[in-house]
């Protein structure tokens, strides 16, 4: 169900939420957190849909804050509940003019009492999320460097401004790759890795973060290569780990399947699907403490990672 509140105030929105819950028999006691989605100009429906799906695992209040500094000073709101909000309640705030300049004040009156706050910028995050008005009231701050246009400078900027509680969905997309590589190295013959090569699209920050993680975990320099876009144009393509007995190669064949090649063993095809936005968001909401490993990869591993080279130089 959707309720529109044109030209309203935060106080009126809060009162309407109480009325909606009382009329529908819904309660806020089961909500475990407040998720604030910060957008410019228009709400990101893909992000709202992902939050609605994730709410089935993490019941929450979702506040979508859409700010337009230009235009008349005004606040329009929309409340979504029931089938239009999954297991959450969604409040969409459209703030323009002077109203758009006090973002933290807009949401303070709508936060669930005594519940953690997570801030998420699906696109165009602030220069320093941890000191942003929304970031200061949030325990976790989620960005996504995979949104276009991706440049190496975006990760460098996050590294320079990192604060505990920051995370990025480009890192979350690596979970299955990290699990698979760790499982391979946890099997005989337990030889040291002597060289590492990571290949992926030039538009993939996940490839860069995977290379930084491997370099830090294995304490080795990592060769990080851009693939020819005609060969591979999205995400991570392959990881090669060299050991005295031969090379281990984990190579994605398509969007769902990867092939694992190891010395003395038959090739194995593994299910390694690209993770959806909903899966990544749900994983991030499972932990509300600082992701210390991501912090180390971003501030230590990224600093030690050499610049990428084109696959043509291989």
pTM of the model: 0.92
Which pair of structure tokens corresponds to residue 40?
Answer: 């410019």
Which ranges of the chain does DSSP label H, i.e. alpha helix?
Answer: 10-24, 45-54, 103-108, 133-136, 152-161, 169-172, 175-185, 205-218, 277-285, 292-296, 302-304
On whether the CB atoms of residues 64 and 35 are closer than 8 A, the answer is no
Does residue 240 surpass a pLDDT of 60? Answer: yes
Domain tally, the chain: 2
Distances in Å between the alpha carbon of 29 and those of 116, 162, 216?
13, 33, 43
The whole-number pLDDT of residue 147 equals: 86
The whole-number pLDDT of residue 116 equals: 95
Taking only the tens place, the pLDDT of each residue in 89-111 is 899 999 999 998 888 889 999 99
Indicate the pLDDT class of residue 24, thresholds 50, 70 and 90.
low
**Cα–chain-centroid distance for residue 28?**
26
Give the mean model confidence (pLDDT) for residues 146-171: 89
Percent above pLDDT 90 for the chain: 74
Distances in Å between the alpha carbon of 269 and those of 110, 242, 260?
48, 20, 6
The whole-number pLDDT of residue 91 equals: 96
The whole-number pLDDT of residue 178 equals: 97
Considering the domain architecture, whether residues 135 and 40 belong to the same structural domain is answered as yes
- 117 assigned to some structural domain: yes
Whichever domain contains 18, its CATH number is 3.40.50
Considering the domain architecture, whether residues 83 and 189 belong to the same structural domain is answered as no
Does residue 33 surpass a pLDDT of 90? Answer: yes
Domain that holds residue 121: 2-143
Strand order in the sheet with 246-252: 268-271, 257-261, 246-252, 236-243, 195-200, 222-226, 309-310
Count of other CB atoms within 10 angstroms of residue 313:
9
Percent above pLDDT 70 for the chain: 95
Helix and strand element counts for the chain (H, E): 11, 15
The whole-number pLDDT of residue 42 equals: 81
Considering the domain architecture, whether residues 88 and 207 belong to the same structural domain is answered as no
The whole-number pLDDT of residue 182 equals: 95
Give the mean model confidence (pLDDT) for residues 160-165: 96
Which pair of structure tokens corresponds to residue 309?
Answer: 């080279």
Considering the domain architecture, whether residues 217 and 272 belong to the same structural domain is answered as yes
Considering the domain architecture, whether residues 7 and 139 belong to the same structural domain is answered as yes
CA distance 194 to 119: 40
Considering the domain architecture, whether residues 218 and 85 belong to the same structural domain is answered as no
Beta bridge partners of 197: 223, 240
- 165 assigned to some structural domain: no
Closest listed residue to residue 104, CA positions, set 48, 28, 42, 38:
38
Taking only the tens place, the pLDDT of each residue in 71-89 is 899 999 999 988 766 667 8
Residue 232 burial (C-beta neighbours within 10 Å; 0-12, 13-18, 19+): buried
The whole-number pLDDT of residue 7 equals: 96
The whole-number pLDDT of residue 21 equals: 80
On whether the CB atoms of residues 227 and 201 are closer than 8 A, the answer is yes
Considering the domain architecture, whether residues 21 and 136 belong to the same structural domain is answered as yes
- 50 assigned to some structural domain: yes
- 104 assigned to some structural domain: yes
- 152 assigned to some structural domain: no
């Amino acid at each position: 169900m959707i309720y529109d509140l044109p030209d309203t105030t935060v106080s009126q929105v809060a009162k309407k939420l109480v009325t909606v819950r009382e009329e529908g028999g819904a309660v806020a006691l089961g909500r475990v957190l407040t998720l604030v989605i910060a957008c410019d100009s228009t709400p990101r429906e893909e992000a709202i849909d992902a939050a609605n799906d994730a709410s089935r695992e993490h019941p929450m209040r979702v506040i979508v804050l859409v700010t337009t500094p230009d235009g008349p000073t005004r606040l329009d709101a929309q409340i979504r509940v029931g089938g239009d909000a999954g297991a959450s309640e969604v409040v969409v705030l459209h703030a323009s003019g002077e109203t758009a300049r006090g973002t933290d004040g807009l949401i303070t009156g709508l936060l669930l009492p005594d519940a953690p706050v997570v801030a998420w910028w699906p696109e165009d995050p602030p220069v320093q999320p941890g000191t942003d008005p929304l970031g200061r009231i949030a325990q976790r701050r989620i960005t996504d460097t995979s949104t276009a246009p991706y440049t190496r400078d975006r990760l460098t900027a996050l590294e320079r401004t990192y604060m505990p509680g920051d995370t990025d969905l480009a890192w979350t997309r690596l979970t299955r790759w990290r699990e698979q590589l760790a499982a391979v190295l946890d099997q005989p013959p337990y030889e040291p890795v002597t060289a590492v090569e990571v290949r992926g699209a030039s538009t993939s920050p996940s490839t860069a973060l995977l290379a930084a993680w491997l370099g830090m975990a294995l304490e080795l320099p990592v060769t990080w290569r851009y693939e020819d876009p005609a060969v591979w144009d999205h995400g991570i393509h392959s990881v090669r780990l060299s050991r005295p007995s031969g090379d281990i190669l984990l190579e994605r064949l398509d969007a769902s399947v990867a092939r694992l090649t190891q010395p003395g063993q038959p090739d194995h095809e593994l299910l390694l699907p690209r993770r959806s936005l909903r899966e990544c968001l749900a994983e991030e909401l499972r932990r509300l403490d600082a992701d210390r490993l991501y912090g180390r990869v971003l501030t230590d591993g990224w600093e030690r990672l050499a610049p990428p080279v084109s696959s043509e130089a291989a």
